[in-house]
Every structure is written in structure tokens, then in C-alpha cells.
Amino acid sequence: MKTRAFQQVDVFTDTAFLGNPLAVVLDGDGLSDAQMQAFARWTQLSETTFVLPPTPEGAAGGADYRVRIFTPGAELPFAGHPTLGTAHAWLQAGGQPRQSGQLVQECGVGLVSLKSVDGRWAFAAPPLQRQTPAPALLAEVLVALGLHADEVLAAQDLNNGPHWLGILIDSVDSLLSLEPDHAALKRLNTKVGVAAKRQVSAGSLIRRANREARAFAPSTRMANDPTDLEVRAFAAPVGIAEDPVTGSLNASLAQWLMAEGHMPTRYSARQGTALGRAGQVFLSQDESGQVWVGGDVVGCIQGLITL
């Protein structure tokens, strides 16, 4: 056991407590896998990260630091909000990038680049593998979500380290009123990201009922900065019923939806609305085709932890 620097930050928000919190242990040296997993389970946050020196291979590739990312139930090879949150915490703790204005993070998927885009840090979306989902699995997932097939505009199996089933549906109202069968999603071992474009769909089923007040939680961000896409992430297989704001999912959704013409090459997404959050993710594609995923980060807690 030793005393280690610790921060807790809120990611994909410029206002504390409206984004996705992240615990960051800034010195993970000497901790076993079991110790890291146990602490992540104790925090009960969607992710907890541990900062380490780069491996020799990572350092040779330009890595500034290495990070290991844990949910309460498992280690992840990559995740978006931990990438931005860890970068913020590392810089706030005095970390000095090898190259000014750029960061290179080493994690399970390899090296991930970060840079400033429109005044906020953004990470390069890792390469995406995608394919049409198995019809039988998609049908079972729709039942677990309480969706009808005629509400689905498109679906893809998405893998950029984390594996998601991405589903684009025709109504934000329907999306915000979903109450999934999380036990069924866990049994299916499927993490699901559901998205809807922010537009009025004539004839769409509006299922607000007694959940309207919760689903449409008031926030300055929502009132003054409307976004283009609404997103929800259900991750029961890794111990998270619903993730407030998910960078890896938004990265893979953007790569898919931009490529298929469902979304433009620059847009913003909102996530967390149904949880009373107001997360905002900024997606853009540069001239080389690389998708960048950006967001604000706010520090909330800074201190020491004994591990």
C-alpha cells in the first residue's frame, strides 16, 4: 500500500456534474490487475484509469504515458471518456507532452493521438471494424430494448476496441423513453448504442408518458446549444446499465454514420439526457478521413488515495 496522487474529473461537459465522471489514479506502478479491478469496482464509476510509464515499445512510438482502463466488471482496451479525462488529469498534474499541443496515449489498442480541435482536446478515433449484425441477434436486442423493427433506420456491428451494436432509430422521443431489459442484454452479452437524429419525424411514436420529466431533464446546455444526434449506451455485460457519455461509442457511431451519409462530417452529439446529464461530444472528420472526438473536461476532486 502506498499513497498515490488521485483526481476525479467530469468529462464531455463544461459544467461539473453534468457529464461522465472518471476516477484517475496518477501513479499505477506496482498495482496488480486484481488491485486495479477491485478499486474500479469500489468507485462504482463507469471507468477508472491508472496512469503508468509507457512500455519501451510505446515510448519508441512517441507515447507520453500509458493508461489502463477498468469498468466495475472488466478491463477495456480503449474508451473515449477515460482517454480525454486521463489526458486532462495528467496535464493538470504537471505532465509535459513530448510535442507541444499534442499527446500520445498508450493503451490496450495501441497508441492513440490527441490534439486540440476548436479549443478543446480531441482524440483520434481508432480504426473501426464494422459489419451487418446477425439478424437473429438484432431481433433479440430489439425485443430487449422494447423497439419495433420498423423504428430502425440502420444497424451495424461496431468494433474499435470496445465492441458495440449500433442502432440508428427514427425518433429522439422513442430513444429517450426506452427502458431496456438489462438482464436480457447481459444474457445476450451485447453492449448496445442507440442513436437518433434530432429532427421531427411525422408519425413517429411518442412514448413520453410518466417518464417525460426525467427524460427531458432541464439544462442550460440543452436549451442554448442544441445538438444534432441523441445517443444512449447500454452496457450491462460490463456492469453498467447505462453509461452517461461514451467516447468510444460516439467515435464508432461517427465513423459509421459519416461513411454511410447518415450524418455530416462535423456534428455534435448529446448523451446522458435520460440520466439527468447534459454530455456533449464534438465529432469531426479531417481531410485525411480521420475522425476526431472532442469534449470539455472539468476537474472535481484532487487529492491522495492509499492503494
CATH number of the domain that residue 8 is part of: 3.10.310.10
Contact 246, 233 (CB under 8 A): yes
Contact 226, 273 (CB under 8 A): no
Q: Do 269 and 136 reside in the same domain of the chain? A: yes
Q: Do 223 and 87 reside in the same domain of the chain? A: no
> Which uninterrupted H or E stretch holds 304?
strand 297-306
Q: How far is CA 179 from CA 147, 190, 215, 241, in A?
A: 10, 16, 11, 10
Q: Which of 261, 266, 257 is nearest to 293 (CA)?
A: 266
Q: What single-letter DSSP state applies at residue 248? A: H
How far is C-alpha 166 from the geometric centre of its chain's CA atoms?
A: 13
Residue 260: count other Cβ atoms within 10 Å of its Cβ.
12
pLDDT tops 80 at residue 266 = yes
pLDDT tops 50 at residue 214 = no
pLDDT at 211: 33
Which residue range is the domain that position 216 belongs to?
A: 129-289
Q: Do 110 and 226 reside in the same domain of the chain? A: no
Q: Do 182 and 117 reside in the same domain of the chain? A: no
Q: Do 108 and 172 reside in the same domain of the chain? A: no
Q: Do 71 and 188 reside in the same domain of the chain? A: no
pLDDT at 207: 39
Contact 9, 88 (CB under 8 A): yes
pLDDT tops 80 at residue 215 = no
Q: Do 76 and 172 reside in the same domain of the chain? A: no
Rounded to a whole number of angstroms, the CA Rg of the chain reads: 19
Q: Summarize the confidence of residues 130-154 as an average pLDDT.
A: 98
pLDDT at 199: 74
Q: Determine the Cα–Cα distance for residues 170 and 205; give it in Å rounded to an integer.
A: 9
Total number of domains in the chain:
2
Q: Do 148 and 118 reside in the same domain of the chain? A: no
83: Cα within 13 Å, side-chain hemisphere: 35
pLDDT tops 80 at residue 217 = no
182-210 confidence digits (pLDDT tens): 999 999 999 999 999 997 444 333 333 33
Percent of the chain with pLDDT over 70: 92
Q: Determine the Cα–Cα distance for residues 245 and 127; give it in Å rounded to an integer.
A: 20
Q: Do 47 and 72 reside in the same domain of the chain? A: yes
pLDDT at 238: 87
Tell whether the torsion through CA atoms of 208, 213, 215 and 220 is positive or negative.
positive
Q: 423493427: which residue's cell?
A: 149
Q: Do 114 and 174 reside in the same domain of the chain? A: no
Whole-model pTM? 0.88
DSSP-H helix ranges across 168-260:
172-176, 182-187, 212-215, 220-224, 247-259
Q: What single-letter DSSP state applies at residue 151? A: G
Q: How far is CA 302 from CA 6, 8, 64, 90, 151, in A?
A: 6, 7, 21, 12, 45
Q: Summarize the confidence of residues 214-227 as an average pLDDT.
A: 46
pLDDT bin (cut points 50, 70, 90) of residue 133 is very high
Q: Do 183 and 257 reside in the same domain of the chain? A: yes
Q: Do 275 and 300 reside in the same domain of the chain? A: no
Residue 80, class by beta-carbon neighbours within 10 Å (0-12 exposed, 13-18 middle, 19+ buried)? buried
